[in-house]
Chains A and B, each alone.
Chain A
Amino acid sequence: MTTMSAYEIAESVRDQKVTATSVIERSISNANALNPKLNAFLAIDREGALEAAERIDSIIAKGGSPGRLAGVPIALKDNMCKVGLPTTCGSKILEGWNPPYDATVTKLLQSEGAIIVGKTNLDEFAMGSSTENSAFGPTLNPVDLTRVPGGSSGGSASSVAAGIVPIALGSDTGGSIRQPASLCGVVGVKPTYGRVSRYGLVAFASSLDQIGPFTSSVMDSAITLEVISGFDPKDSTSYDQEVGSLSAQRGLSIEGLRVGIVTEFIDGSDPEVVGALRDAAEGLARLGAEVVEISIPETKLGLSAYYLIAPAEASSNLARFDGVRFGLRVEGSNIEETNVLTRTKGFGAEVKRRIMLGTYALSSGYYDAYYAKAQQVRTLIKSGFEQAYQRVDVLISPVSPTTAFKIGERSLDPLAMYLSDVCTIPSNLAGHPAMSVPYALDSQGLPIGVQVLAPALREDLMFRLAFALEESASGVPTLDPSIKEAIIHG
């Protein structure tokens, strides 16, 4: 990667080797230079970020403590609120909406000295696996500009992969952090459901959504997660125990750690993806881990359950976009007509499709067969994982069955697109933590990530294995030449 890690930046800023202002200047310059090619950012906040950087520098000059992420430039997926910047969710229906409040993650990052430089592109309302569904155009993969970065947090993955920011936050409902992390060759973490407050994250599917980091190193993800996790009195579903030290897992031995390869996730994956996973397993075994293959048949039901639960919750969560209080309004002769005109014009095709599917799944006569049944399937999947975790400590699998696909390749067939989430969805349904660690490149030089899955609240084990994987990873992706050329080095 072309930039320093967040950890190094914060250290340098604290030690006054560089100023926060210069770090931010460079990050913003890169964002401005690369964005015309990547379309990773929907907003770049030069003025606000520089102001914040000056504050950090002045705290340091006065001998104060600026925080663990002092001067580190960070990008937020544009479904998280920050006062002073619009939040669009990649949708026309919210274009120009300026939230009057900060998300909890925004406050937590800022309280540790991090500086929000901009908001990143996403599939509209986080619905998609390619970041092609944004009302503001697709984001491109910096490794290969003809390919998607994955999604829905494609802008965050792309901006970290291109070295514009060392940390970006994404949200993961069915794989929206892990899959783009894998496709762009960066680390991406979905914590245990409830670890990170969802307050200020525009909801897609409330019982599945979790915020997590994209970084270029496992250490940076560990630090970021330590900063953003914790109980939030504003989120009734947030968990009230400390995540503990994840960064301390680096260098810990994995000898004797029992690692399971999930059979069901290998079955439909490309040979090169499976090959990379086998290599990773061998590497772990060499470090002393006991690697076995393990079947969790219940996970096969994940996709169906997910594509009933997520749209159902979304259909309700997205009802409030009605043209009354904020965002777009297309005025009709009465309120009902106004609702219809606004929503019809404001939502894109994929969002409408999911609202339709979810409304149908909840409607009378179908609730028991679809939504209620799908919620029971979650219990099955959870118990499937629990049984597996009696035999192993952590699981590994592919993240995505394929590497980054071409832009437009899957956009006409929703089901084919949905199938690319098959390895990531079960963790969301179970509420368990999972992350993507870049591991290898395919024959075309495209990144392949390995997914590490752990029991609920066992981020410590997950990171211990991720640190080990990172050590044995082979091959760093080469950025697309036009991106490489445009990067402004510090």
Chain B
Amino acid sequence: MSSRISPKEVAHVAMLARLSLTDEEAELYASQLSSVLDHASDIESLDIHDLEVTAHPLGLTNRTRMDIVVAGLSQREALSQAPDEAQGMFSVPPVLGEPS
């Protein structure tokens, strides 16, 4: 069994992705992701350093819209799907830290 990703790395990635995994899940994902990454070793070893990336298949550029106001949603529509709301705003449990 390949071990390109350790269960510890899996746990770190889960933290970045805001997922919590049981130890068994972490083990399972570690081995499954490792086998996918093993398969990807064919492109890892390619020497194509100077090749351009394909950002858009048709090579479109400079797509913009005019600076004109378009009606959006009403406050009621905006909040209609909110799990919780108060004072016309989306209500959530407290935020502990500043964003990075």
Contact = CB atoms under 8 A, between A and B. Distances in A.
Given a CB threshold of 8 Å, the question of whether A touches B is answered with: yes
Interface of A: 97-98, 100, 192-194, 207, 233, 236-237, 239, 300-301, 303-305, 307-308, 315, 319, 322-329, 331-341, 343-344, 347, 352-353, 355-357, 359-360, 363, 369-370, 372-380, 382, 414-415, 418, 429-432, 456-457
> Per DSSP, are chain A's interface residues mostly helix, strand or loop, or mixed?
helix
A302 B31 CA distance: 22
A352 B55 CA distance: 26
B90 A373 contact: no
A356 B13 contact: yes
A307 B36 contact: yes
A300 B39 CA distance: 11
Given A98-B80, A98-B81, A414-B36, A335 B92 contact: yes
5 contacts: A100-B78, A194-B60, A239-B60, A337-B93, A356-B33
Interface in B1-55: 5, 9-10, 13-14, 16-21, 29, 32-33, 35-36, 39-44, 46, 48, 51-55
A322 B83 CA distance: 11
A35 to B, nearest CB: 26
Among the interface residues A192, A323, A373, which one has the most CB atoms of the partner chain B within 10 A? A373
A207 B56 contact: yes
B86 interface: no
Nearest to A239: B58
Interface of B: 5, 9-10, 13-14, 16-21, 29, 32-33, 35-36, 39-44, 46, 48, 51-58, 60, 63, 65, 73, 77-78, 80-84, 90, 92-96
A332 B40 CA distance: 38
Nearest to B80: A100
Contact of B83 (A329, A357, A374): A329
Contacts of A355: 17, 19
B48 A356 contact: no
Contacts of A304: 39-43
Contact of A323 (B14, B51, B83): B83
A343 B14 CA distance: 11
Q: Which 4 A-B pairs have the closest CB atoms?
A: A431-B57, A329-B83, A375-B53, A378-B54
Contacts of B73: 100
Nearest to A304: B40
Contacts of A374: 40, 43
B16 A353 contact: no
Contact of B82 (A319, A325, A334, A373): A325
Contacts of B90: 324-325
Contacts of B92: 323-324, 335, 338
Contacts of B39: 303-304, 307, 415
Contact of B36 (A239, A332, A357): A357
Secondary structure at chain B's binding surface: helix, strand, loop or mixed? loop
Nearest to A378: B54
Contact of B13 (A322, A337, A359, A431): A359
B71 to A, nearest CB: 12
Contact of B46 (A98, A347, A359, A377): A377
A98 B13 CA distance: 31
Contacts of A353: 29, 32-33
A153 to B, nearest CB: 21
A231 B45 CA distance: 39
Contact of B93 (A236, A301, A307, A331): A331
B20 to A, nearest CB: 5
Contacts of B46: 301, 373, 376-377
Given A355-B17, A360-B5, A414-B36, 10 more contacts: A207-B55, A328-B83, A338-B92, A352-B29, A353-B29, A353-B33, A356-B19, A359-B16, A363-B13, A375-B54
B13 A360 contact: yes
Contact of B60 (A237, A338, A344, A432): A237
Contact of B16 (A237, A363, A414): A363
A335 B95 contact: yes
A233 B53 contact: no
Contacts of B42: 300-301, 304
Nearest to B26: A356
B67 to A, nearest CB: 13
Contact of A373 (B21, B44, B52, B80): B44
B18 A373 contact: no
Contacts of A370: 40, 44
Contacts of A357: 33, 36
Contact of B35 (A192, A347, A415): A415
Given A356-B14, A377-B43, A414-B32, A326 B19 contact: no
A430 B65 CA distance: 27
Contacts of B35: 414-415
A195 to B, nearest CB: 10
A488 to B, nearest CB: 36
A304 to B, nearest CB: 4
B52 to A, nearest CB: 6
Nearest to B43: A304
B14 A236 contact: no
Contacts of B41: 304
A323 B93 CA distance: 11
Contacts of A432: 57
